[in-house]
Structure 1
Amino acid sequence: METSPSFAGPFALGTFSAGDGPAFPGLVAEGRVLDLRTVPELDLPEPTTRALLERWDDVLPLLTEAARSTAGEWLPWSALRVHAPVEPRQLFQAGANYRTHVIDLVVAHEPPNGRPPEQVRAEAAAMMDRRAAEGEPYVFLGLPSSITGPYDPVVIPSWCEKPDWELELAAVIGRPAFRVSRERALEHVAAYTIANDITAREAVFRKDVGEMGADWLRAKNAPTFTPLGPYLVPAAFVGDPGDLQVTLRLNGEVMQDESTKDMIFDVARIVSAVSQTVRLLPGDLVLTGSPAGNGLHHGRLLRPGDVMEGTITGLGVQRNRCVAEEEG
């Protein structure tokens, strides 16, 4: 865990438990956590952060007031277990959405005796420019069952030989969204959080299905493959989601360190694109892609004992240790 909670704004939300007790939604402020079950004004139908998100427009002013109050049961943050901050119904993941990352991948996949790297990079950059101007975000489905807490172990399955990290900004839906415009899309985002989209690289492309595409089910959805959190930071406190720094350290060494300015499609464009097909619901997560610096780029994939530390500007820190399946 972090030594103390750190995030943008006066408060954030999370899911916590004390001892062997049940998980509960909490408001984090000044190193303490307010058990939101003890705030009668909220009138929670169920004690979850998703229940708060379902009434976000009404709840946000009440949370603002609660953060200033001494009423309710306040607990020391350091005495609590921090869980994934929300349990979504739906999980959407944008792929190939950072310009530098995609260009690096194109260069890396060029045959050894192929074109010069400078030519490949220039052609890939031109392709990204065309995609940004004329294309649409590439989005696939993830499974909520892959989510784990921000400080919990990441279990590497016994069959997985090439586990890789992908730190990402995740938008958390508040207002339901269906066929919303890009201009209105961010009105439906209640908060932001950190996600690490762990990928089994050897499972992405299956040789037995030809051009049918990538096998994202097996590659990305093992239990614990999506560390999430630690907090839901209200969008109003985050500022411009297109100007945040995404940083992942592996055993203390910086591996990813890129601004969300490098996104090909911004958060609004991705949320709008998903909503053209799917009705987004409160608590749903929209992951926005991972920047350059994955393990394949560094020639160094995850191993048991590795510790990943992920930060995004204003959203706190998550820290996960990798363990072999038999240790998990």
Structure 2
Amino acid sequence: MRTDALGSSTPDAPKHPANGDPHVTTSSGPTVPFALARFASDAGPVPGLVVGDRIRPLSAAELGADTLNEFLAEGESGWDRLEPLAAESADDADPSAAVWLPLASVTLLAPVEPRQVLQTGANYRTHVIDLVVAGRAKQDPRPVEELREWAAELMDRRAREGIPYFFIGLPACVVGTEEILELPAYSDQHDWELELAVVIGAPAFRVSREDALAHVAGYTIVNDVTTRDLVFRQDMKEIGTDWYRAKNAPGFLPTGPFLVPARHIADAGDLRLTLSVNGETMQDATTDDLLFDIPALIAAASETMPLLPGDLLLTGSPAGNGVVHGRMLRDGDVMVGTIEGLGSQVVHAAAARVPA
């Protein structure tokens, strides 16, 4: 899988790997001065500094830390160290430019190594209203518009008086976007959920909304894949939701491909998100539709458990999921998810391989 230059436009949906070279042109880079990534090498995962269409491997000495999470814990001083290295990429005559590799020549991995993944449910106003209408009981006599108005009033009251709704994802599900998303055969109701993900920097424990953003290292893109018919238990409906089975199959959190420093995103509360499936736009929204903004999410999540460097806090998915379109993921689908400033990710879906 190859990655286009930083700042380039979202590419056309590439061919499915089953039809040819699995390393087809896919994700486009963020429109920022530099970003972090991780890529595969013979020695294992390597952190890299991304500028334009090139990537520079970072040693522990250059990173200033033995691990990526230790680097993220430093906050702004870590990013300050990387700025001179990023500036090197502009000077091809500099001998040090030899360490820069074409971005297209490496296999990108997930740009983070979270120890905890927190997912936020029902956090886009329009998305929740759409789900209420889509799940309308057959015996409900209300017209659709009346039902939408009722759901809108409910969400507005929740934003004023309620608290965020969190559940836990498995870090093992976090994979790079170059991995094929295998759709488990136990269901045909696998759905997409494009999300802006917060990457924690300095540890956050019981922080206030006012101090919350100081604990953000950066942002990345996550597609929070969900098996819709497993969300609610059928054997005992009183139990409610079953997020473990619905969201934690292998590869169900394609992440990245880049980690963009928070300093390069002027306002994470006003970013456009779009997701297409085979070239057809399914999700198109902005983060100003969030019921609970990023400071509110960090403050609420950190009230219970410390958030650690490198942890992912998913902020929710906007309207336009497959359950509303009446169309779920199928073998051969190509999803292109783009978030303003963060670039785009391309995820190939395929039917699960049948064991020998």
Q: Same fold (TM over 0.5)?
A: yes
Specify which of 58, 66, 80 is matched with residue 45 of structure 1.
66
Cα deviation 1:280-309 (Å, max 9, x = unaligned) = 000000000000000000000001110111
Which structure 2 residues correspond to residues 262-281 of structure 1 after superposition, within 5 A? 262-281=289-308
Amino acid at match of 2:81: L
Query: What's 2:12 paired with?
Result: none
Cα deviation 1:159-206 (Å, max 9, x = unaligned) = 122000000000000010000011111110010000000001111101
Preserved contact between residue 149 and residue 230 of structure 1 (Cα < 8 Å) = yes
Query: What's 1:126 paired with?
Result: 153
Preserved contact between residue 251 and residue 306 of structure 1 (Cα < 8 Å) = yes
TM-score (ref. length: structure 1): 0.95
Query: What's 1:82 paired with?
Result: 108
Query: What's 1:295 paired with?
Result: 322
Preserved contact between residue 12 and residue 29 of structure 1 (Cα < 8 Å) = yes
Cα deviation 1:33-89 (Å, max 9, x = unaligned) = 11111x73434324xx32321223331110112111354722111110110001100
Amino acid at match of 1:10: P
Specify which of 180, 184, 192 is matched with residue 165 of structure 1.
192
SS at match of 1:86: coil
Amino acid at match of 1:67: A
Unmatched runs of 5 consecutive residues or more in structure 1: none
Amino acid at match of 1:16: F
Unmatched runs of 5 consecutive residues or more in structure 2: 7-28, 89-93
The separation in 1 between residues aligned to 2:64 and 2:326, in whole angstroms, is 51
How many residues are matched?
324
Residue identity (%): 51
- Alignment of 1:106 with 2:132, yes or no, is yes
Specify which of 19, 22, 27 is matched with residue 49 of structure 2.
27
Which structure 2 residues correspond to residues 3-14 of structure 1 after superposition, within 5 A? 3-5=4-6, 6-14=29-37
Q: Give the Å deviation of 1:210.
A: 2.6
Specify which of 311, 314, 317 is matched with residue 338 of structure 2.
311
**Aligned CA-pair RMSD:** 1.6
Q: Give the Å deviation of 1:113.
A: 4.0
- Alignment of 1:65 with 2:66, yes or no, is no
Residues 86 and 119 (structure 1), Cα distance of their counterparts in 2 relative to 1, 3 Å cut: same
Q: Give the Å deviation of 1:327.
A: 6.6
Preserved contact between residue 8 and residue 233 of structure 1 (Cα < 8 Å) = no
The separation in 1 between residues aligned to 2:350 and 2:52, in whole angstroms, is 33
Which structure 2 residues correspond to residues 129-208 of structure 1 after superposition, within 5 A? 129-208=156-235
TM-score (ref. length: structure 2): 0.88
Amino acid at match of 1:270: L
